Each structure stands twice: as C-alpha cells, then as structure tokens.
Structure 1
Amino acid sequence: MTPLEVLEYASVAVFALTGALVASRSQLDLVGFIFIACLTAVGGGTLRDLLLGRDPVFWVGRPGFIVVAALAALVVFFSAHLLESRYRALLWLDACALAVAVPVGVGVTIGMGYGPVTVLVMGVATGSFGGLMRDVVCNEVPLLLRQGELYLTAAFCGAGAALAAGALGWPGLPALLACAAVTFGLRAGSLAFGWALPVYKARPPRPDAPKR
C-alpha cells in the first residue's frame, strides 16, 4: 500500500467518524449513521474523481473504503454517549479529517498530471465537500460557512504549501506532509485561538441616500 493510499484510508475513516457524530446529534438509527458516515467519508473524493474523469471512482474500485466508513459509524453509534461534548469532538475530528483529505486530493490530482490551479481546486474540494454534504443533509450549519473561521482558507493554504514544496524540489510524501501540517495548523489555530480573516460588512446607507 502506497503512502497516498494510507492517507486516503485515514481520510475516509476520520471523516466517517465526523459524519457519525453529526448523525448522533440528529438522533438517527444505525442505518442512518452508516449512510451519513459513508456520505461524509467519500463525498469529497467522489466529486473530485468525477470532475477529473477518474474511472472508476476511488471507492467503486476499492469497496474497502465503504467498509471502513461503516465500521467507523458502528464505533460511534455505540460510544457517542461517552463523549462529554460531541460538538467539540466533531470540530477537532473534522480538523484532522481536513488535514488528511486535502493532501489526498492534491496527491491524486498531481498524479494524474494536472496543473497547479486544478491541484488547488481539487485539494479544497476533496477536503471540504464531504463535510458540506454531511451538514446540509443533517440540517446543521456547515462548518465551512461559519463566519470568520479558517476552513476553506486552511485547505487552500495547505494545497498551496504542497505546490510550493514541490516547486522547491521536495519529493511527494514530504510535500504532502507539509500540506497536512499547514492545513491542520491553520484550522487548529482558528479553533483554539480564534484565528480568522476579516469578513465583509456592508456599510449602512447614508441618511440622505435616495431610496430604491
């Protein structure tokens, strides 16, 4: 098994745990847990593979990914009640999943011979779309849309770090590890220390401005 495949399995497992935690917050049954876990685990990678024309889609060619996601859902189904704060656990697990999934998206896209722009987009998509699908289906506020937090920015900077490392002559695995470190560092800093980018704030209209 290659290092990229190890990262891919890790991404699926950790994202599946986050999906199952959200399912526990929605009080779903066991089948619901497995569905949400699998959707979260493979959603970003499926979108990536469809856009890149990768045939077959990664989990279709290797169904073991679905088995891993289902097992993760079972673990959470029987143990979620032991967590003091499921939401806090969700945030940190999601940060770990993001830090693993973005390098996977970057590695797969580079391996298929695509250029830097596509690598950046697919790194972000792989890391973020599974969680977005999870939150939308479970009627949660998507983590990537929470005001002021570094989420998409962390994924983008992580993918950029991999490209920069590659440009400096770093081999594949160290470049992907740099991607993971930057992604997790920024996301963790946002959660622990409130790191954030300025958000847009509309200026109030002038009192003498004409009404439209």
Structure 2
Amino acid sequence: MMIIRTLATGSTGNCYMIDDGQTRLLIELGVQFKKIQRALNYETSKVAAALISHSHKDHCKGVQGALDASVDVYMSETTEREIGIQHNRIRRYENKKQFRVGTFTILPFDVQHDVENHGFLIQSDNGIKLLFATDTYYVKYRFTGLTHLMIECNYSRKILDENVESGRIPEFLANRIIGSHFSLENLLEFLKANDLSRVQEIHLLHLSDTNSNEEEFKRAVQATTGKLVYVP
C-alpha cells in the first residue's frame, strides 16, 4: 500500500505526501505551512518528517512553519546554509547515504539543477520502492525494482521552441529551463533506460503552465511504459 497525495505542484509551490499505512512523509514544503496543515485536515502530528530537495522557495517556503510545528525537516548541509534557517528540528542528510524515518529507508542522490539538488529513493518495509526526482534536466542513475515514480515532466522541447519563436518566452529563460528542468523527451529516455517491470503508478510533477500539455504528456508516458499515469 502507498498513498500519494499532491498538495501543491508547479512553479508557485510544491508539496507532496506519501503514506505506507504506518509512516507519513512530506516531500517538499514549497507553500506556506498553514496551507499544508489545511490540506492535511490539521493532522500534522501524523507527519513523521519532511524531506527538502533544494533551496528554491517553491520547494522550501514552508520550512520555518513546519519546524515551528515540531516537524523534523531533512535537508543537505548546503541547502540548510542556502535557506539560512537554524533550528533543532533540522536533520541533515548526505548524498548517497541512507537514513531511516519510521518504516521508510531513504537514499538521497544528486541530480542536475542550477543549485545543489537531490532526488530520493524511498523504500518501505512493506516492499514499496518509490523514486522522487524533480527540478533536474537529467538523472544519471539507473534503478531496479521500482513500484512508484514521482517525477518531473516540466516541458516539451517542441512547445518551448514554439513559445520562443512566438515571443511568449524569451530565449534566456528558455535556456535556463533547458538547463534545469526535465523535458518530456528526456523523461521518456530515462523511463526506457530503467527497470519498470514492477511499477504500479507514475506521477508526473511540476508541469509548466506555459510549456506543457497535460494530456499529451500523459498519453506519451502511458504509450512508452504501459503504466498508470497521473498528472496532479
């Protein structure tokens, strides 16, 4: 069993909840914590911890609120320094070193962005193996035995190029997107390169408001993988 809920996604803020029936985790705190509390029906005491991938505000805006609500928040030393918050509830993780939270074993791994950023391989004692990766243009690692994916599909190169040509997106912004976010094309190549034999669900995250097409992306990933695909 794995419950996955998207509380917020996109450039305005990101926050996700996963629950294996025994341990509840938040991944990203990119909106005000009061909004997260409302979305969880104020059952904050059931949250074992929160994971932060990197220091951009749409992923860490609610950190202070979570800490003040006595939630342990895991982040790298670099992210802690960049956010600039000190608190006894902050827990540091290290790249490619596993740690435990309740029934979850969590392995952070480096991904490619414009600041230090991490994905997470999260394994539950009940056999679930979930991959989370966002705000990266490429994932260099390969995985086996995955059961769930929560992964960015921010834009397609075709839509982005059309927006640049029409003047909707300036070229410098397009270049930043290409160098920091996962395109549909790169995601499809990543999926083809990994073992998806046990995958039950794929959740596409962080779609761009202007450079994506939800139905097109969903169809493309379903056609490539043959798996259930959700777009929050």
Q: Which has the larger radius of gyration?
A: 1
More strand by share: 2
Query: Normalising by the residue count of structure 2, what TM-score does the alignment of the two structures yield?
Result: 0.28
Query: Normalising by the residue count of structure 1, what TM-score does the alignment of the two structures yield?
Result: 0.30
Relative CO higher for 1 or 2, CA cutoff 8 Å, sep ≥ 6? 1
